[in-house]
Amino acid sequence: MKNIHKKLIGLSFIVLFLFGGCTKDFETMNINPNEPTDVPTAYLLTSAQKAMCTDLWDEWWNGRLGMLFSQMWSQTSYTDESRYKMRDGVINNYWIYFYASGLEDLERIIKLNTDAETKDKAAASGANDNQIAAARILKVWMFQILTDIWGDIPYSEALKGAENVAPGYDKQQAIYAALLTEVTAARDLIKLDQDGILGDIIYNGNMAKWKKFANSLKMRLGIRMSKVDPTGAKAAIEEALASGPFGSIDDNAVFTYFDGVPNNNPLNENQKIRSDFAVSQVLIEFLKGKNDPRIGFYANLPNDLTEYVGFPYGMQPAAATPISNNVVSMPGNIIYAPTASTFLMLYDEVEFIKAEAYNSLGVAGNAEQAYYDAITTSMDWWNYLASITQTGWYRIDGNNTNILPEPITPTQMDEYMAGASVAWDPANAEKLIAEQKYIALYPQGLQAWFEYNRTSYPNVLILPGAEVVYHIEGVTDTVYTFISTAVDLTTVPLRLYYPPEEQDLNGASYSAAVASQGPDNFRTHLWWQIPWN
């Protein structure tokens, strides 16, 4: 489990510093020759990328928030989060991690490459403008995720350190406008004829790919706001397309881990000691109903059965705990492998955005072709991942890690896309695009949750109060009712409530945000959400 005492450690350091200030020759006594104060910006970039990707992809934030709120996974025993009972301490800590770790490093990179006194030394890690551009693009990527989780958040006054310890919250609409401006400016700052950047795990310093990532992020921003500002969305997407987003899976923005602690996939490390998650009945049945060949990439066969079986979503602990992991499908080997990657954004998402923009925003293009290209691109990506995934590592649930799915063939792709529930139908285009995008977003749980709340698809997610029939091979059917622990909640959560510590540490700003946005609970709509639910 992630260290939940980072804040206390930081406060302890401040106290020691204040008391130490009264000590004679403090500067001399407190210099550690083994810890240089001038950190190359390449190190800061690596640190920022790893911190943000790991925090967003681990068993807490992606596992117990994104993958559960999107109902792609279920909890196998401790089922609180799948019934929307969150742990306040986790929310408090991750708010701190996001603001005080990766984002802070990115801000430092920008300052060191901008300041006349430090920019020449910083240039040892790459051209100043290119370092600044990459840092700004990553800030846009991260801040969009944060505002899509909470809505109004500190943005314009954030990352000021001691200059502003109680930042105000910006309205989400203003944040989106600022992010669109920021990602465009960052993209235009890139100098392809100058040195790339060092310390870059995502693209190994390839600035042409960073430019494509910036344009792809601009498209994500545009489509997310398309229900409330279709004109602005269209303009953003058209401009990004003209500049050039991802064009193949080679452009995918991913952070790849190494085989070995502490640099292995955080989900791999967690599953060595716990088997908290199984693939949900919601997702398994949805994939089965479409004969989707990606099912074997997303899930493993149960140890004791010959068919994929999803775990019921949102069960009470007393009902969930007796179900053996051997009779349900656990997350696939590609997801749990030590060297698996965090997905920041993939090419198939760009194609789905194009399909939707062509279909409903009036952007010029062939929606049907983009839709089919998105599906085949997703399958090509999983074929590629299977080809590079290592085997033979340890799984606590006993699933065989030497088994990986066979590649999806072009014939299988064509047959899938010709299926009655997948084949293009202009009258149902919005539903088809949203359903296939949801499937392709696995295991990007947060993005799948955001898109569900934007589009209302797929309409198979379980809502509080619904009765669900659970069937295991050879066992009598069981009916249970999904009982949420959130009072009066009848939908999937629309947002996450703010960290409770904000009420104590930044109370005035917190109160102003609640007064502006609405009650601090799961039911308050974000700016870009149409209140269909």
Percentage helix, strand, coil for the chain under 3-state DSSP, each rounded to 5: 55, 5, 40
Grouping H, G, I as helix, E, B as strand and the rest as coil, residue 73 is strand
> In one letter, which amino acid is 343?
F
**What values do phi and psi take at 197, rounded to 5?**
-115, 145
59 occurs within a structural domain: yes
pLDDT tens string 3-51 = 433 333 333 322 222 223 333 343 333 444 444 457 899 999 999 999 9
Which CATH number characterizes residue 402's domain?
1.25.40.390
In angstroms, rounded to a whole number, what is the distance separating the alpha carbons of residues 6 and 207? 34
Q: Which residues of 174-186 are buried (b: 16+ CB within 10 A; e: fewer)?
A: ebbbebbebbbeb
Q: What is the per-residue pLDDT for 2?
A: 45
pLDDT tens string 411-443 = 999 999 999 999 999 999 999 999 999 999 999
Q: Give the Cα-Cα-Cα angle 182, 185, 190 (nearest 5 degrees).
A: 125
> In one letter, which amino acid is 236?
A
**Domain hosting residue 510, numbered range:** 40-269+333-464+492-517
**DSSP H/E element including 253:** strand 253-256
437 occurs within a structural domain: yes
What number is the average pLDDT over the span 484-503? 93
Q: Give the Cα-Cα-Cα angle 424, 426, 431 (nearest 5 degrees).
A: 75
Say how many domains are in the chain: 1
Q: Are strands 73-75 and 277-279 parallel, antiparallel or unpaired?
A: antiparallel
What number is the average pLDDT over the span 196-213? 98
pLDDT tens string 158-192 = 999 889 999 999 999 999 999 999 999 999 999 99
300 occurs within a structural domain: no
Higher pLDDT, 114 or 319: 114
Query: Terminus-to-terminus CA distance in the chain, angstroms?
Result: 34
279 occurs within a structural domain: no
Q: What is the per-residue pLDDT for 533?
A: 52
452 occurs within a structural domain: yes
- Supply 57's token pair: 């992809």
In angstroms, rounded to a whole number, what is the distance separating the alpha carbons of residues 339 and 324? 28
13 occurs within a structural domain: no
453 occurs within a structural domain: yes
Q: What is the per-residue pLDDT for 139?
A: 98
Q: What is the mean pLDDT of the chain?
A: 91
In angstroms, rounded to a whole number, what is the distance separating the alpha carbons of residues 518 and 81? 23
86 occurs within a structural domain: yes
